[in-house]
Amino acid sequence: MQLIIANNYEDMSKKASKLLISRIKDTIPLNLGLATGSTPVGLYKELVTEYANGNLDFEHTRTFNLDEYIGLSPYNPNSYSYYMWKHFFSHINIRKENIHIPPGIFANEQKVIDDYEEAIVQAGGIDLQVLGIGANGHIGFNEPGESLSVSTHIVELKSETIKANSRFFENKDEVPKKAITMGMGKIMEAKEILLLASGKEKAKALAQTVKGIVETHCPSTILQIHPNVKIIADKEASFLIADRIRASNNCILFSSDRMEQYG
């Protein structure tokens, strides 16, 4: 696990975009796992700017989003599908057929799950998975609990997640209580994982992620046993682990991974 400390949100987004740009340029086709929420907005903005400047081509990029709220259609401004088009897809040359987002409205739950899993398998698996992190350590919508799921599944959102996400809705009652999410198993199958964390409310979860006991009550701790995880966190998110950061290069390795710098 490699942790890269960014000065602030903008710096985190820039560092993350550098990594994605190099993968988009070098891996053809690239299967990109994507997250929503406030954390990756700056990353998408950077990528859109690079595209607008003629430096990026998404012709051969396929995307797989982590999750969607149950009951929200892609036309609902609070849906993750809407978010992705608003912040990213509408501004780049990605092919529509290469975009995969689990649907929030469906008739046959098992078919939706099977189709999503199959689409990832058919594509050859995810090359790079971008993740945010919940203050309770959730990844995608894999919430803390007694166990974790391997595959795509429907989850009941925890009250703290509903509360945290209510900032995007008119009021808390509008936040869907359920979501469909890629399972922790599928996320762990990604060849490379990039976790982004910004803000002091993520500090506890981030500290647990990098040095806590690996346990289902903090799903992000499972990332410790993935062979290729990079975390880009701003200073606020990493203040509880700052003592472990080498002052020389703002980069610390928690395993024997090769060190790379992004910015």
Q: Is 134 in the site for ligand F6R (CB under 6 A)?
A: yes
From the list 15, 138, 186, 230, which residue makes contact with ligand F6R (rule: CB under 6 A)?
A: 138
Nearest approach, Cβ of residue 203 and ligand F6R (Å):
13
> DSSP string of the chain?
-EEEEESSHHHHHHHHHHHHHHHHHHSSSEEEEE--SSTTHHHHHHHHHHHHTT----TTEEEEESEEETT--TTSTTSHHHHHHHHTGGGS---GGGEE---SS-S-HHHHHHHHHHHHHHHTS-SEEEE---TT--BTTB-SSS---SS-EEEEPPHHHHHHHGGGSSSGGGS-SEEEE--HHHHHHSSEEEEEE-SGGGHHHHHHHHHS--BTTBGGGGGGGSSSEEEEEETTTTGGGGGGS-TTTTEEESSSPPP----
Place of tokens 């976790």: 195
> Least Å distance between CB 199 and ligand F6R?
7
Closer residue to ligand F6R (CB): 46 or 67: 67
- Of the candidates 98, 138, 142, 234, the residue annotated as catalytic is 138
What's the min distance (Å) between Cβ of 146 and ligand F6R?
19
Is 140 one of the binding residues for ligand F6R (CB under 6 A)?
yes
Which one of 42, 104, 132, 176 is in contact with ligand F6R (CB under 6 A)?
Answer: 132
- Of residues 86 and 244, the one with the C-beta less far from ligand F6R: 86
Q: Confirm or reject binding of residue 144 to ligand F6R (CB under 6 A).
A: no
Structural contact between residues 149 and 139, judged by C-beta atoms closer than 8 angstroms:
no
By the rule CB under 6 A, 87 interacts with ligand F6R: no
**138 catalytic per annotation:** yes
15-74 residues in contact with ligand F6R (CB under 6 A) are 35-39, 66-67
Nearest residue (CB) to ligand F6R, 44 versus 80: 80
Alpha-carbon gap, residue 131 to 149, rounded angstroms: 17
Segment interacting with ligand F6R, rule: CB under 6 A, options 86-94, 132-140, 218-226, 236-244: 132-140
Beta carbon nearer to ligand F6R, 36 or 79: 36
Q: Tell me whether residue 10 is one of the annotated catalytic residues.
A: no
Catalytic status, residue 67: yes
**Residues annotated catalytic, as ranges:** 67, 136, 138, 143
Q: Applying CB under 6 A, which residues contact ligand F6R?
A: 35-39, 66-67, 80, 132-134, 138-140
